Amino acid sequence: TWQSALSVSSWMRQSARSPCSRFCCLLLVAWLAASSAVQAENAWSGRADPSFRQVVAGPVSCVTLGPAARGFIWLGTQSGLLRWDGYKLRSYLGDVAAPGALPDSFVLSLHSDQAGRFWVGTSAGGLVRYDAALDRFISPLAKGMALSRPSVFAMADDGPHGLWVATGGGLDHLDTQTGAVQLHARFAALKGLPDRPAHAVAVDAAGALWVGTDRGLYRRASETGRFEPVALATAPALRDILGTLK
């Protein structure tokens, strides 16, 4: 309605010479104000208060909530992986004896990479990738390869063919094309990252790598390639920064 007010402003100036015209102008301004209030009210009338509906019955300990990979919402729990399609839940349970099954029911982390691939990190079964075409989970590691520890707390992309993997044994790197793993002890530990569990990992917009450990927060400097500790204002309270980079 502000456009309408501008369009009649010149007419109001020209008509303001007589008392009758001034009265008409006042009526017009009042009508425009009332019209604006009605439109503002109508704009909010379609926005109802948010409501929540329970979709998982029973006591479920949700550890992580995954991205909407391929149109699904994924929930990692201590008792399996849940997939919500908007209508019903599909449950995936750990079974090391069944080919293509989840290797462990305790899900710690979920990640969707740049290529749209969906990754699942577990507590004792390591890392797997979801094959949507076959509805199964496959190990991305090459033969003879293993992570520093089978507990995968977080993941982050390293370009189109790399994946940083935060494990209970430190920070590993996976080549997603070849399945080769660069272990923490042979890379990150030599670059200054403590030989401790890595609980969080992220790459910022500038390409810097950040790692959260139980010894504090570390950043890999692009100039030297080494990991440097990041001083925190309240270091004693934030020493264990589990999940702060997710």
Chain mean position to CA 43: 31
pLDDT band at 188 (very low <50, low <70, confident <90, very high): very high
pTM above 0.75, yes or no: no
Percent of the chain with pLDDT over 70: 67
Q: In what order do the strands lie in the sheet with 118-122?
A: 107-112, 118-122, 127-131, 136-138
Distances (CA, A) of 166 to 18, 154, 178, 201, 223: 79, 5, 19, 6, 23
pLDDT digit string, tens, across residues 204-213: 988 899 999 9
- The residue among 128 and 58 whose pLDDT is bigger is 128
Q: Which residues contact 111 (CB under 8 A, 6 or more apart)?
A: 66, 67, 118, 119, 121, 154, 155, 156, 163
Q: Write phi, then psi, for 5 (nearest 5 degrees).
A: -65, -40
Is the pLDDT score of 104 beyond 60?
yes
Residue 168 CA to residue 166 CA, distance in Å, equals: 7
pLDDT band at 178 (very low <50, low <70, confident <90, very high): very high
Tokens describing residue 117: 């691939």
Q: Which residues contact 68 (CB under 8 A, 6 or more apart)?
A: none
User: Would you state the pLDDT for residue 26?
Assistant: 53
Is the pLDDT score of 168 beyond 50?
yes
Beta bridge partners of 212: 200, 217
